[in-house]
Structure 1
Amino acid sequence: MTGRHGPLMLRGGSGGSGKPLSRGSRIVVAVVVGVALGCACAFLYPDGLLFRSSASALQWSRQVGSVACESSDRVTNLKPQLILLERENTELKKQINELSMKLQLSGQGKNEAMYKPGPPGTVKALRMNPTVLPDESVNPRLAKILEEVAVKKELIVALANSNVREMLEVWFTNIKRVGVPNYLVVALDDNIESFCKSNDVPVYRRDPDEGVDSIAKTGGNHAVSGLKFRILREFLQLGYSILLSDIDIIFLRNPFDHLYRDSDVESMSDGHNNMTAYGFNDVFDEPSMGWARYAHTMRIWVYNSGFFYIRPTIPAIELLDRVAGRLSREPKSWDQAVFNEELFFPSHPGYEGLHASRRTMDIYLFMNSKVLFKTVRKDAQLRKLKPVIVHSNYHPDKLDRMKAVIEFYVNGKQNALEHFPDGSE
C-alpha cells in the first residue's frame, strides 16, 4: 500500500508494468479529465450553474411569500375566534371563582380539608349549597321590581287577596314601624294591588294564570298558602333569598338580623318547647315484645310553612317543585304536611328523599302563638323577652290576637294578653 503522497500509478498502461507516469503525461491526463467534466456540465446545465441557482432562489422566495400571505389570512380569520374563546375562558374563570368563594364562605373546612379529612373532631360536611346562577329571562318584570326592593338579594314576601285585607294592613304597618325596607306583597287580585299602592307598599301583581287565578281571588288561607310554592320558584330562579311570611304575623324586630343563612331552608317551628321544636328521643313501649318492648324513635314537631327563609339553591327549588306537584295531584292535602314530608322523609325503597339542609329557628325569637299564650305570658322571665315575630298560627281569632300582641310588646300594656284562652275555646 502506497503512502498518501506516493506517485500516481497507472494500472494496465505500458503493458501493465506499473511504472509511474512522467510529469508531462500527468498534465495531459489532467487536461483530458477537465475537458470531460466541462462537457458534462455543459450538457446537464445548459443555462449555467449561476443562473439556475438564482432562479431557484427566486422560486423559493415566491413560495415563502405565498405561505406568509396565507398564514397572515389565517391569523386574521382566527382572531375573532380567539377573542370569543378568551371571553368564554374569562367567564368560566369567574364562575369557578364564585363557586370557590361560596364553598369557602360555607365554613366547611379550609384548603384541602374539604377533600382530605383532618384530625377527629375537625371534619365537617358541606351544609350550605351554592346558589343558582340568576336567570332574568324567567320574569324580566319581576326581576326589575326585585332589583329595586331587595337588600343584599333578600326580601320578605307575602301573598294576599281581599279576604285578608284588614290583617294585611296590620302586617305591613308593623313592618314599616320596625324599619324593614325590603318586603313585597304578591297581590292576588286587583283590589289588593290598588290597596298596596295607595299605602305606598311594594306590590307585585302576577300575570294572569288560568291554573291559579280562581284560587288566588277567592281561596281561603290554606288554598292561598298552597300557591306560594309555585309562585316562589321564580324568585329563587332570579337569584333572591326569600323570607316567606303569612299575613297573620306581627314583626317586632328586623328578622334579617337574626338569620343564620347556613341552610337551604330555615324555618320557624310549630313546637312549643325545646324538645318538640328541636327534636327528642321518644320511647315507644310495646309490652307484648317482652325483652324488646322498648323501641326508640326520633321525633320533631313540624316546620311552619307560613314563615320560612329559603335560599336560591337547587335543593330549595326542588322542594318547591315537589310540594307544588303533590298539591296539584292531591288537592285535599294540607300544604304544611306535604312541605314537611318532602323536607324530612329519607330515601327508602321506591322513594328518593330530598337532599336539602335545614335549620330550626329559635322558638322564643320566632314565636308561634301557642308558645306565647300557653307559656311565655305566664312566665315572669320569659315575658321580658322581645321576640322578632309572633305568628298567630294556633288560633282562629287571628286579628284580635295580632292587635293584642302589638299592645303588649309595642305599647307596653302588660295585661293585653290576659283575657285570651290558651287555645281556641
Structure 2
Amino acid sequence: MAGPISRRSTSASQPVRGSRIVVAIVIGVLIGCILALLYPHGLFSGDSDSGSEFQNRRLTKSNLQIGSTSCESSERVSMLKADIADLSSTNDELKKQIRELTQKLQAAEQKNGQAEQQVVVVGEPQKAGPFGTVKGIRTNPTVLPDETVNPRLAKILEKVAVKKELIVSLANSNVKAMLEVSVSSIKKAGITNYLVVALDDGIVDFCKENDVAFYMRDPDEGIDSVAKTGGNHAVSGLKFRILREFLQLGYGVLLSDVDIVYIQNPFDHIYRDSDVESMSDGHDNMTAYGYNDVFDEPAMGWARYAHTIRIWVYNSGFFYLRPTIPAIELLDRVADRLSHPPPAWDQAVFNEELFFPSHPGYIGLHASKRTMDRYLFMNSKALFKEVRKDAHLKKLKPVIVHINYHPDKLPRMKAVVEFYFNGKQDALDAFPDGSG
C-alpha cells in the first residue's frame, strides 16, 4: 500500500516545479529589459574608462623604461670601450709580466730537482721493452736559443761557428806566449771555428795582428781585475761565468786552456751524446775510465775489505759542453761556489759538482758525461811518462796534447809542435817525466 501512494505524490509535484521555472525565466527577462532602459551605456562604463586609462599609463611607463634602458646601454658600451682601450694600452706590460712569471716558474721547476721533472723534460712515460732491449735516454734536448742575452756576441758567433760549434779560449797578456803557440797549431790543423775571449787590450791587439776571431766582454767590475791581472788558475775560474752566454745562444762550446797544442780537428772526434765530454787527468785505462779500488781496514776483521769505485778527475781546462739545461746548471753551480769563500780550485769544484750524488741536504747534478779517449785527448803525464817511450805509441797521432802536468809549459808546447808537425823524433827526449 505504501509504494503506490508515494509514486502518485511524486507524479503530482512535477507540474508545479516546471511552472516555477517558467515564472523565474519571465521575471529575469523583465528585469533585463528594465535595466536596459535605465542604463543604455551599461552598468560598468565608468570602470571601462578607468581601465583604459590604467593601460595607457602602463604603456607610457613602459616606453619610459625602454628609453631609460637604451640610454643606460649606450653608457655601458662606452664604459666597456674605455676598459678595452685601457687594457690594450697595458698589453705590453702584461706580456712582460707573463714572460717573467713563466721564467720564474721554469726556474722553480728546475730548482725542485725531483725525478718527475726529468720525466717531463724527456717526454711521455714509456713501457719497458723485453729483457736486454731497454736503453735509457742519454742525450738531453738542447735549449731554445735566446739572442736577447747578448746580441753582440750572437753576431760574432754566427760568423765564427761551424755547425753551431766552436773552440773558446780565455786569455790575458800574462799567457800571451802560450796563446801564440796554441793559435799557431790551430791554424796548422786547419781549424777555423776558434774564438779568443780577450780579457785585456793586449790580447785584442794580438788577435787583430794574427787574424784571430775575438770577443771582448763589456766591463764588469766584479771580475775585471781578475781577468786583466790574474794568473792561469784565476783566469780559469772565470770561464764558468763567461761560457754561460754561449750556451744560452744555442752553441756547443769546446773550452780550451791556452797550454794546449792542436794536432787534429777535435770536432771530428766528439760524440755529442752527453752534456759534458771531458779529457781525463788519468794516465792509464784504469785511472782514466774508472776502476774498483779495495779499501783495507784490518781492525774490522771479517769485514776488513770495502770496495770503492774510483776515477781520476776530469780536466777543467779542456771539455765540450752541449747547450743543455744540465750543462748550464753545471756552469752556474761551479761559478757560484767559486765566488764565495772558502777559496777553491776550479777543477776540484768542477768534478765535485759533476760526480757527487744526491744525498741528505744536497741535490746532485743530473748531467750525462763522457770521458774522452785518453790517447786522442792526451795529457802531458801520459805523453812524457808513457807515449814517448813506446815505439808503437809514438806513431799515434793525438787530437790535442794538454801540458797540464808540467809547469814548464811553453818549452814543452814548442817541443810537441816539433815532434808532431815537424817530425823531429827526439824533440821530447830532453824533458824529465815530471817537473824536475
Q: CA RMSD in A?
A: 4.5
Identity of aligned residues (%): 73
Q: Distance in 2 between matches of 1:321 and 1:262?
A: 21
TM-score by length of 1: 0.74
Corresponding residue of 1:134: 146
Aligned partner of 2:285 among 264, 274, 295: 274
Corresponding residue of 2:219: 208
CA contact (8 A) 1:131 1:311 kept: no
Once the two structures are TM-superposed, the CA of residue 413 in structure 1 deviates from its matched residue by 1.3
The answer to whether structure 1 residue 163 and structure 2 residue 165 are counterparts is no
Secondary structure, aligned partner of 1:305: strand
- 1:328-380 deviations in Å (ceiling 9; x for gaps): 11363111001111111111122111111111101011000111111111112
For residues 132 and 264 of structure 1, do their structure 2 counterparts lie closer, same or farther at Cα, with a shift above 3 Å needed? farther
Corresponding residue of 2:126: 116
Corresponding residue of 1:250: 261
Q: Distance in 2 between matches of 1:217 and 1:270?
A: 28
Aligned partner of 1:125 among 137, 148, 151: 137
CA contact (8 A) 1:149 1:183 kept: yes
The aligned amino acid for 2:269 is: H
Corresponding residue of 1:19: none
The aligned amino acid for 1:218 is: T
CA contact (8 A) 2:289 2:371 kept: yes
Secondary structure, aligned partner of 1:224: helix
Q: Distance in 1 between matches of 2:330 and 2:336?
A: 10
Q: Distance in 1 between matches of 2:375 and 2:170?
A: 25
CA contact (8 A) 2:354 2:367 kept: yes
- Matches for 1:393-404 after TM superposition, within 5 Å: 393-404=404-415
CA contact (8 A) 2:167 2:195 kept: yes
CA contact (8 A) 2:147 2:154 kept: no
- Matches for 1:21-420 after TM superposition, within 5 Å: 115-119=125-129, 120=131, 121-137=133-149, 139-330=150-341, 332-420=343-431
Q: Distance in 2 between matches of 1:113 and 1:310?
A: 22
Secondary structure, aligned partner of 1:348: coil
Secondary structure, aligned partner of 1:267: strand
The aligned amino acid for 2:423 is: G
The aligned amino acid for 1:125 is: I
Q: Distance in 1 between matches of 2:145 and 2:169?
A: 24
Instruction: Name segments (4+ residues, structure 1) moved above 2 Å.
Output: 112-119, 125-137
Secondary structure, aligned partner of 2:339: helix
More helix by share: 2
Once the two structures are TM-superposed, the CA of residue 134 in structure 1 deviates from its matched residue by 2.3
Q: Distance in 2 between matches of 1:421 and 1:200?
A: 36
For residues 351 and 266 of structure 1, do their structure 2 counterparts lie closer, same or farther at Cα, with a shift above 3 Å needed? same
Unmatched runs of 5 consecutive residues or more in structure 2:
1-19, 22-83, 85-90, 96-121
Q: Distance in 2 between matches of 1:330 and 1:128?
A: 32
Bigger Cα Rg? 2
Q: How many pairs are equivalent?
A: 396
